[in-house]
Structure 1
Amino acid sequence: MESGPPSSSSAENPDRYDASSAHAHAHGLGSLLAAADIASFHVRPDGTITDVNDAFTVLTGYNRSELLGAPFSTVVVDGEPSLGSLVGIDGAGGGEDDAEGGENEAGEASETDADAEADGFETGPISTTLSIRTKADTRLTADLHLERIETEGGETRIGGIVDRQPSAAESVSDSDLTYGRTFQALADALPDGIIVLDTNSDVQYANPAVERILGYSPDELVGSSKVNIIPPRLRQAHLDALQRYLETGERNLNWTYVELPGQHEAGHEVPLGVSLNDFFYDGDRYFVGLFRDISPRKEAEQTLTTKVAQLESVSYLGRHALEDADIDELLEKATELVVAALDAEYAAVFEHEANEVTSPDAETLRLRAGTGFDPGDETTAPVADSIAAAALADDDVVVIEDLASDDRFDGPSLVDDPDVRSGITVTVGSATDPWGVLDVYDTEQREFADHDVDFIESVATIIANAIERDRYERRLNETVDELEASNERLEQFAYAASHDLQEPLRMISSYLQLLEGRYADELDSDGEEFIEFAVDGAERMREMIEGLLEYSRIDTQGDPFEPVDLDAVLEDVLTDLQVMIEQSDAEITAEPLPELAGDPSQLRQLFQNLLSNAIEYSGDEPPRVYVAVERTDGMWTFSVRDEGIGIDSEEPSRVFEVFQRLHAREKYDGTGIGLALCQRIVERHGGEIWVESEPGEGTTFTFTLPRR
């Protein structure tokens, strides 16, 4: 039994809790009761009126302000049963004194308020007949329907409906709607299904919405067993649960809300959201079920679940593609995931093998991976007249919902199964150079959602990227192999240069020196000069070969990295350059240098080459050289600055090229390989080197080395 809502807002009286409106609204009845003009009210367990609607004020003749806070006995004829006796609470509704005694001296609610037990409702709502006294002191006979309501705050309220009975002078057709007819009107208007059962599970009432939801008309259901609308697999469990409840009161379901399938008249199941309750009428127990079709929500949940599963599959496949370079294993994983995510029968990946020599009709597709079928010895299939041909030609997704009725294709699917009815085919790779196709097929006619197509395209994209990366890695490995072979040949050349070429040069130099010593008296000045040039040339060639050998072995012959104290390295370098420093009256100024990981001998050579260059190219003034260092973003930045002649070149970086000289040999010695060696050493240590210079303003060489 539902009580109608008051028509006024609860904001008018802060002491009033609009439980009836909230309760009725939960079942979609509040506005319908109000529209039916049914008098309703709310009282505390002590009988104090807390809310009335407009129909109640019209019925009794009192206005709302006169009723709120008054005892319910105000509108009851003397001698009629009190509200307390009706609901089983002693002292409730006893009159004005009771209302005044509803609060104690501290202003707190008495024990008979929210804490009271409305024992009269233990078996359900209460209905009775009594006489209503209006403000004009007239008497009206009415049916009173009472129900206990628990508020959100845990308090107890009693909601009631007053249904006036027609007088002898009134015909039934002219009277207000009776309670039964009101329920009928409300139930007919509800979009949710309502079924009332007796304890034998026989249907006593069904509203029109049941036919829309389950296909059965109310006339078909009333008088029949409820088990007809329960799926056969659940019918015995229902009967057993009902019997157990009647015997023990034990419920095996949440009666407030439970999701159960219903059996449609057409034979299929319908997911339902069901609320259950029981009540007594004329001493008999009945059960009422309120239910609605939740198919749209279930479909949305299933779609969401499918999308999440597909996204997780794409994510997993993407991680697998990054972590594992085995393309065949990736393709097998892809087909397995596609079959599982789409609940399909088959999935396959075919590699397109073009045949430009003969004709396009001779092109084939070679099976690389498949799930759901055994291809046997047939690992290739012709492209012509197949569904894959359309995908390869248009570089577009081909979606087939019913192959038998689809007139776009005369050829078969690539899976040899005559029962294939639907599927999706998508190209793997670019439109200009497709690698192959990804197919998914099912033996049932089905519609594929947009997210299904997006999923297949995402899988095809991951496959294409993995294949392209595999191609790139293969080309890269081939290039690395070629570079390693080239380096090995360079090593061999350097070895030959150090041993085989230097021996003839030593022989040439030795014989020239013998010639000069033995026949010096017989040679004129030109002959002596020619011999001197030849000896000098042989010596310079020897130095260049040794420098080239040293340059080629920077990476391959270097020592393992170890902690290196650069202050100690610089001290050793200055010791080695002591003669040069004293002869040029050079002044070297250096900041404290750090310790880092590196090759000690190569770092020593780096500082020695830079400092010796700074001293050599100082010009006419005594050399002044400054060594500095600073910390920058995980690196040490070193600089070697001089005040010498500078570099007269539009491209200062050319000084790092092998055998590159910027000054005449007659004025400055050297092979032109020292700075190239510096660059290779710095790069081996994970840094870089550059030069800044202005002619006549000095030169600064800057290089970085990792701090780790």
Structure 2
Amino acid sequence: MKSDFHRLLAEYPLETLLQTIPTGLFLVDTDFQVVYWNTEAERITGYSSAEAVGRHCSFLEGIPCKDKCGLYAEDTEKPVIGINCSVQHKDGRTIQLTKNVDLLRNKTGTVIGGIEAFVDISRLKQLENSLRSEVEDRTRELELEKAALHSVLDGMVDPVYICDAEFRITFINRALRDIYGDITGQVCHRALHNSSLVCEDCPITDVLSGGVEFRERELENTGKIYEIVHSPFPMAQNPTHKLGVFRDITERKAAERRLQQANGELDAFVSTVSHDLRSPLTPLIGFAELLEERSVDQLDEIGREALSEIKKTATRMKALLEDLLTLARVGQLKNPVQKVDVTRVAEDVMLELADKVIERQAKVDISPLPNVRIPESLLTDLFRNLLANALKYAAVEDPRIEISGESFPGRVRYRVVDHGPGIARDEMAEVFEPFRRGSSSRAHQGSGIGLATVAKIARVYEGSAWVEETPGGGATFVVELARND
């Protein structure tokens, strides 16, 4: 039994179906005379059904149809699907088509005509040609940019290479070619470092994500040390290659080693001299105190003043040597495994200097401080020098001192703020130099080593120390250190 749908389909006129489909359609007899022309064919070609029916289909000036029509050719298998061709619109325009062609047969199988169904792809072809032109233009521009970049890279003194995500070298400049020969096409770890395995610290993943990475390597072919700057290439949102630029830092590394050796020798010398000189000072101070206790009545005023001066000078000398020893040992201590409670260290220093805090009637406020993996003894030296400095110069009228800290990505920063007379701008850079003291310090005793020790601790731990003006008056000492997590 047929369904309602099938009955409706059988009753629905074929003519109505053909006139409503969104495809141009026409039929021809065996003499190529048009016998049917639907509405979409009218829209595409501009010819009405009345103008087309009864005419030879060649009036459309079809290409390649007018040269050779294969509709009835026995050597052409039917149906023919997806033919690209063009016809002449009524207004003279050329229309690009894609069409399907098949034969019409009667019940006995005899060919009685042909059918063509076609779609206008003129707009699509225009867009395709425009896009192709843009792609060709952009490709040409990129090739010119690439050639210009390669010319620039080729003229560089620093060796340069470019490799893809598979570590395959796609370009080397003249400087690198002079060292290795033509290694284009080889994998970088084998060609540059003679290794069958990818380098353990290979930065290509980070670089292809848009990052810039730095590595230090020694090239066996040269015996020199290079800093290799790895950056994305091209510099776009989705880089596909890595650009490596070699900077020769052999001399710089040698200078660093010489400087480290010289600093080590200097620190050792200072440590030895300070220790050797400090040893006789202890009995010297002891004998001065003994004379002061037992024989002061036997001395006249000049003698008593001389004895007092001997004692003071020896005491200052001992303090100076102890400060020099502290300065010399910075950088010689190993970092602790666990982070140090820096807030507790600052509080312990405040208790250590309690007599001076009471003497100045100071109010010391310590906020929670970020922790770091730095030897506790060095942190103690750092805060001892900063707090002692603040207590020494804090204003009598407003002896407030604030110690605070904050964390940044990879960094920590500590601040010690006082509200004293401050430091002249032209002296701010000098107060961290050994034996250099500001003009406001002349009324106070000191070795001139304390802030130099603070600055050295900061340098050793990849940071820096500086001083700023406190709003409203005073000095704010800032120390920034690497987190060293």
TM-score (norm 2): 0.52
**Contact 1:652/1:693 (8 A) holds in 2:** no
Q: Which one of the candidate residues 74, 84, 107 is aligned to 1:122?
A: 74
In structure 1, distance between residues paired with 2:303 and 2:30: 138
Deviations 1:455-488 (A, max 9, x none): xxxxxxx9xx86xx44xx2311321232122123
Aligned residue in 1 for 2:357: 581
Q: Which one of the candidate residues 422, 429, 434 is aligned to 1:658?
A: 434
In structure 1, distance between residues paired with 2:256 and 2:435: 27
**Contact 1:656/1:676 (8 A) holds in 2:** yes
Q: 2:301 matched to 1:525?
A: yes
Deviation, 1:550, is 1.0
**Contact 1:44/1:157 (8 A) holds in 2:** no
In structure 1, distance between residues paired with 2:81 and 2:471: 97
In structure 2, distance between residues paired with 1:615 and 1:504: 31
Aligned residue in 2 for 1:190: none
Aligned residue in 1 for 2:53: 69
Deviation, 1:649, is 6.0
Q: Residues 255-654 of structure 1: matches in 2 within 5 Å?
A: 318=161, 334-337=180-183, 469-470=247-248, 473-510=249-286, 512=288, 520-557=296-333, 559-560=335-336, 562-621=338-397, 623-632=399-408, 634-648=410-424, 650-654=426-430
Q: What SS does the aligned partner of 1:562 have?
A: coil
Deviations 1:608-636 (A, max 9, x none): 32222222222433621122334556544
Deviation, 1:555, is 0.9
Distance 1:663 1:526, change over 3 A: farther
Deviation, 1:674, is 1.4
In structure 1, distance between residues paired with 2:270 and 2:28: 108
Q: What SS does the aligned partner of 2:314 have?
A: helix
Aligned residue in 1 for 2:462: 686
Amino acid at match of 2:54: A
Aligned residue in 2 for 1:382: none
Q: What SS does the aligned partner of 1:675 have?
A: helix
Distance 1:65 1:514, change over 3 A: closer
Amino acid at match of 2:376: P
Distance 1:121 1:480, change over 3 A: same
Distance 1:499 1:316, change over 3 A: closer
**Contact 1:317/1:334 (8 A) holds in 2:** no
In structure 1, distance between residues paired with 2:29 and 2:159: 61
Q: What SS does the aligned partner of 1:555 have?
A: coil
Deviations 1:83-103 (A, max 9, x none): xxxx9xxxxxxxxxxxxxxxx
**Contact 2:33/2:54 (8 A) holds in 1:** yes
In structure 1, distance between residues paired with 2:252 and 2:415: 36
In structure 2, distance between residues paired with 1:595 and 1:579: 27
Aligned residue in 1 for 2:474: 698
Deviation, 1:663, is 5.8
Q: How many residues align?
A: 318
Deviations 1:494-545 (A, max 9, x none): 2322332223434544555566667645532112212322232222122212
Amino acid at match of 2:161: G
Which stretches in structure 2 are left out of the alignment for 5+ residues? 1-22, 37-46, 58-68, 84-97, 104-142, 164-174, 187-242
Aligned residue in 2 for 1:387: none
Aligned residue in 2 for 1:235: none
Deviations 1:331-352 (A, max 9, x none): 67643448x99xxxxxxxxxxx
In structure 2, distance between residues paired with 1:696 and 1:316: 55
**Contact 2:413/2:479 (8 A) holds in 1:** yes
**Contact 1:121/1:148 (8 A) holds in 2:** no
Deviation, 1:563, is 1.3
Deviation, 1:591, is 2.7
Q: What SS does the aligned partner of 2:468 have?
A: strand
**Contact 2:418/2:476 (8 A) holds in 1:** yes
Distance 1:528 1:649, change over 3 A: farther
Aligned residue in 2 for 1:143: none
Q: Residues 162-311 of structure 1: matches in 2 within 5 Å?
A: none
Aligned residue in 2 for 1:237: none
In structure 2, distance between residues paired with 1:694 and 1:477: 40
Q: What SS does the aligned partner of 2:426 have?
A: coil
**Contact 1:610/1:640 (8 A) holds in 2:** yes
Q: What SS does the aligned partner of 1:500 have?
A: helix
Which stretches in structure 1 are left out of the alignment for 5+ residues? 1-13, 18-41, 52-62, 74-86, 88-116, 126-146, 159-303, 321-328, 342-461
In structure 1, distance between residues paired with 2:179 and 2:300: 88
Distance 1:151 1:496, change over 3 A: closer
Distance 1:335 1:693, change over 3 A: closer
Q: What SS does the aligned partner of 1:691 have?
A: strand
Amino acid at match of 1:657: E
In structure 2, distance between residues paired with 1:685 and 1:632: 15
Higher relative contact order (CA 8 A, sep 6+): 2
Deviations 1:551-587 (A, max 9, x none): 1211123544631233322332233233332333221
In structure 2, distance between residues paired with 1:64 and 1:580: 109
Distance 1:663 1:533, change over 3 A: farther
**RMSD of aligned alpha carbons:** 4.9
**Contact 1:15/1:50 (8 A) holds in 2:** no
Deviation, 1:675, is 1.4
In structure 2, distance between residues paired with 1:64 and 1:509: 125
Alignment identity in percent? 29
Deviations 1:139-189 (A, max 9, x none): xxxxxxxx997653552179xxxxxxxxxxxxxxxxxxxxxxxxxxxxxxx
Aligned residue in 2 for 1:673: 449
In structure 2, distance between residues paired with 1:551 and 1:568: 23
In structure 1, distance between residues paired with 2:35 and 2:367: 91
Aligned residue in 1 for 2:107: none
Q: What SS does the aligned partner of 2:377 have?
A: helix
Deviations 1:427-462 (A, max 9, x none): xxxxxxxxxxxxxxxxxxxxxxxxxxxxxxxxxxx9
In structure 1, distance between residues paired with 2:436 and 2:179: 56
Q: Which has the larger radius of gyration?
A: 1
Deviation, 1:547, is 0.8
Distance 1:668 1:487, change over 3 A: same
Aligned residue in 2 for 1:155: 100
In structure 1, distance between residues paired with 2:272 and 2:313: 20
Deviation, 1:660, is 2.2
Amino acid at match of 1:582: I
**Contact 2:335/2:373 (8 A) holds in 1:** no
